[in-house]
Amino acid sequence: MKNKKVVVIGAGVAGMAAAIRLALQGYEVSVFEKNMYPGGKLSAFQLNDYSFDAGPSLFTAPQLIADLFSEAKVPMEDFFSYKKVAVACHYFYQDGTQITAYTDKEKFAAELALKTNEAPEQVNAYLNNAAAAYQNIATIFLNYSLHHWSTLIKAPILKALATLKGPYLFSSLNKYNERKFKSDKLVQLFNRFATYNGSNPYKAPAMISLISHLEQNEGVFYPKGGMISITNALYQLSLKLGVSYTFGASVEQILHSGKVLTGVVVDQQHIAADIVVSNMDVYYTYQHLLKDPIKAKKIKQQERSSSALIFYWGIAKSFPQLDLHNIFFSADYKAEFEAIFKTAVPFDDPTIYVNITSKLEPGIHAPVGKENWFVMINVPANSGQDWVERVAFYKTVIIQKLSKQLGENIASLIEVEEVLTPVTIESKTLSYMGSLYGTSSNTKMAAFMRHPNFNKRINGLYFVGGTVHPGGGIPLCLSSAKIAAQLIKEANNIK
């Protein structure tokens, strides 16, 4: 097996996880990454005395990382540690209502009863349904290929079908939530889970309600050192297993002769490989690496997920009313999503997410008495908008909104600033149009329309990452690596 070579294109979370799993199968694994650092979107940077996680900021399902260390028989605590946080998110509404989403389900239900008059039993029933759906339906999506019968027949399909309810498929998330809750505030709170895969709650299927299970039933966690420690842990584990990395190296082409894969071209050099795993955006993989514009065009026709505009601000003050995760809701959520997915025009009341890791590690990510703010809004994927103009527009409305809600002139407190737009997301990570999750989930069949984790015409070519099955976000990216590795294992009869 040591003579069998694997090339992984891209050192994102899914690429590194795939490299780890394939090294454990006995392959000689080489990873080529165009950037000079691992992690893809899950990176970090420093601005004077402030440090920032650049990309994903929510950590759930830590067992998916623990599983990698367990399978490698390497003590995770030597590389990585985390803790559960008491509050999943702190929500701010424009009428002054504030809701603390405790990770203790009973405390959360009591908080909602106090702030929205929603009956605790109604909230508990919703979360219990989300748990059942996750455990019986989502586990199929997370552990099996939906496009390969040899693996799908092993899935507990009958158990999933017994759990599956009509509204999950035939109702939008918003309509489902409106039937479940009396409070408009609570509907909006649970609608926001559609944004976890870049979708519109007024179009995405109610099945997305199961995402709430991860936060409110299983909990939210914080990795010591910030989210970048996830990247560092996966990178160090893969090195320990013998995976080699070449940074600053762009793969230019995937080579094959008919159905037989032969390798890749890197910096005009042919690198032989028996297996290639692409952690690159699937559109770019077909358009540029496989030189297959027909397939690329087909992928391009699917609606893009939303993108993000992020301001990284060093704030010269501490705000005790804020937590690790904070949401400032828009007054008209439906209009906001119309602007994101339909009109693509600037929206003057965006929902604002503020992540502050210095809350968990004071004095490390920001000077004592100050905070590192990761300020994000959802925006359309890039289709040629004037982002210089939009950055200026959104900075103004975000500062006005936060200043009003927090009773403080935020502009005067900003000591350092960096900005990430859909254009820079695309240039740094080759995410087509800067969309964060590839395609949206705004149709009933969206889950089945994602590209499979393998290529049907080229033996030995596989795909992982947020643009293929099962989707975007850290848990799904890690799951994509597990699915691809299992397909490779079965295709090569590895015990």
Per-residue pLDDT of the chain (495 residues; tens, 9 = 90+): 557 999 999 999 999 999 999 999 999 999 999 999 999 999 999 999 999 999 999 999 999 999 999 999 999 999 999 999 999 999 999 999 999 999 999 999 999 999 999 999 999 999 999 998 888 877 777 787 877 766 667 666 656 556 666 666 679 999 999 999 999 999 999 999 999 989 999 999 998 898 999 999 999 999 999 999 999 999 999 999 999 999 999 999 999 999 999 999 999 999 999 999 999 999 999 999 999 999 999 988 888 999 999 999 999 999 999 999 999 999 999 999 999 999 999 999 999 999 999 999 999 999 999 999 999 999 999 999 999 999 999 999 999 999 999 999 999 999 999 999 999 999 999 899 999 888 888 776 666 678 999 999 999 999 999 999 998 899 999 999 999 999 999 998 776
> What tokens were used for 114?
């106090």
pLDDT of residue 306: 95
Q: Find residue 339's DSSP bridge partners.
A: none
H or E element, residue 488: helix 474-491
Strands 260-266 and 269-272: antiparallel
pLDDT of residue 27: 97
Please answer whether residues 112 and 125 qualify as being in contact, where contact means their C-beta atoms are separated by less than 8 angstroms: no
Q: What is the tens place of the pLDDT at every residue in 22-74?
A: 999 999 999 999 999 999 999 999 999 999 999 999 999 999 999 999 999 99
**Residues ≥6 apart with Cβ < 8 Å to 448:** 146
pTM of the predicted structure, to 2 decimals? 0.94
Phi-psi sector, 465: left (phi>0), alpha (psi -120 to 50), beta: left
Please answer whether residues 165 and 130 qualify as being in contact, where contact means their C-beta atoms are separated by less than 8 angstroms: no
Helix extents (H) in 27-144: 63-72, 105-116, 120-133, 139-143
* Nearest-angstrom CA–CA distance, 172 and 112: 23
Q: What is the CATH number of domain 5-82+225-303+431-491?
A: 3.50.50.60
Residue 173, class by beta-carbon neighbours within 10 Å (0-12 exposed, 13-18 middle, 19+ buried)? buried
Cα distances from 20 to residues 227, 228, 243, 308, 368, in angstroms, run 19, 18, 7, 30, 38
Residue (of 485, 490, 488) closest to 71 by Cα position? 485
CA quadruple 220, 226, 231, 236: dihedral sign: negative
Please answer whether residues 201 and 337 qualify as being in contact, where contact means their C-beta atoms are separated by less than 8 angstroms: yes
Q: Where in the chain is the domain with CATH 3.50.50.60?
A: 5-82+225-303+431-491
Q: What is the tens place of the pLDDT at every residue in 412-429?
A: 999 999 999 999 999 999
